[in-house]
Amino acid sequence: MQATVPKNRKGYLGALALILVIVGLYWGLIHAPPDAYQGNAQRIMYLHIPSILTAYLSFFLVFVGSCLYLWKREKRDDILAHSAAEIGVLFTALTIVEGSIWGKPTWGVWWTWDARLTLTAILLLIFVGYLMLRSLIEEESRAASAAAILGIIGFLDIPLIHMSVYWWRTLHQPPSILRPDKAPWDNIHPAMLTALAINFVAFILLYFYLLSLRFRLGEMTEEIKTRRMDRGR
Amino acid sequence: MSSWGYVFLAYGIVWSTLLLYLFSLKRRFRRAQREVAQLSSAEELQKHAQK
């Protein structure tokens, strides 16, 4: 099997992600002004929004990889879904932690059973279950198929999370960026929007760097298994 | 805790967790690379022995 991203390109991706992370930290912590109502606690949003959008992207890749695996039965698609699920769980867990830390000074509580928060916790549980399921079923192709079905079902939670703030009366505010009635620049101070955009790009680059490493690790693990089996014959 | 305290707590947790994950991924990656190299050399030895 061949690595999908050549080593030097992976290095560039990692270096670019690191530069943007540093610029994002400067912009988010120093350059952007504090929010008129939330004060400095609002700076947590420069992590919170990129984290959840990265998690959504990751679970979208789980969805794509799972559909392709069920259709074509190619190991590569299963490795993609598995790798994306692992990193997606990490970003979802971080989103919940960031939201909780932001919630304490803003709402006065670390956690509340709000529709969006609860659905995000369910998303995390589904994909933790996805990872556990893979390790619980011994037969590999059965584990991959069962995980693919769960991955597709799990992804369907994301539109529910997005729409939850419209469908139910919730404590969580409606989206500030992905809203149909207003463009983001009409709604957010330009310095705040820039901080958010830089951090979002930094998270996406970091995500693809982590995914390329995790995907290659999956390919190598598969190669080791196959070669060990060939030697055993 | 002041509002900056919450900000540093969040940033600290996020970046230390992401760094830890990156290091663990690199460690797993290197271990797998070593294993592939070991398998390759064992296969080479086997080929030589068969000759």
Specify if B14 maps to a domain.
no
> What pLDDT does residue A10 have?
76
Specify if B11 maps to a domain.
no
How many domains, in total, are found in chain B?
1
Instruction: Tell me: pLDDT of A4 over 60.
Output: no
CA distance A36 to A23: 23
Specify if B10 maps to a domain.
no
> What pLDDT does residue A1 have?
44
Q: Which residue has the higher pLDDT, B27 or A164?
A: B27
Specify if B36 maps to a domain.
yes
User: pTM of the predicted model, to two decimals?
Assistant: 0.91
> What pLDDT does residue B5 have?
94
Q: Helices A45-72 and B3-50, interaxial angle, to 10°?
A: 30
Q: Which residue has the higher pLDDT, B3 or A181?
A: B3
Q: Helices A45-72 and A157-167, interaxial angle, to 10°?
A: 140
Instruction: Tell me: pLDDT of A146 over 80.
Output: yes
Question: For chain A, what percent of residues have pLDDT higher than 90?
Answer: 70
Q: Is B20 on the interface with A (CB under 8 A)?
A: no
Using DSSP's 3-state secondary structure scheme, residue A35 falls into: strand
Specify if B42 maps to a domain.
yes
Confidence bin at A233 (pLDDT 50/70/90): low
Domain ranges of chain A: 14-32+42-172+186-223
Please check whether residue A138 is in contact with residue A183, taking contact to mean a CB–CB distance below 8 angstroms: no
Q: Which residue has the higher pLDDT, B24 or A187?
A: B24
> What pLDDT does residue A3 have?
47
To the nearest whole angstrom, how far is the Cα of A138 from the nearest Cα of chain B?
Answer: 21
pLDDT tens, A118-131? 999 999 999 999 99
pLDDT tens, A64-120? 999 999 999 999 999 999 999 999 999 999 999 999 999 999 999 999 999 999 999
> What pLDDT does residue A2 have?
46
Interface of A with B (CB under 8 A): 25, 29, 38-41, 43-44, 47-48, 51, 90, 94, 97-98, 101-102, 104-105, 206, 210, 213-214, 216-217, 220-221, 223-224, 227-228, 231
> What pLDDT does residue A170 have?
77
pLDDT tens, A17-34? 999 999 999 999 999 998
Please check whether residue A10 is in contact with residue A213, taking contact to mean a CB–CB distance below 8 angstroms: yes
- State the residue range of the domain holding B36: 19-51
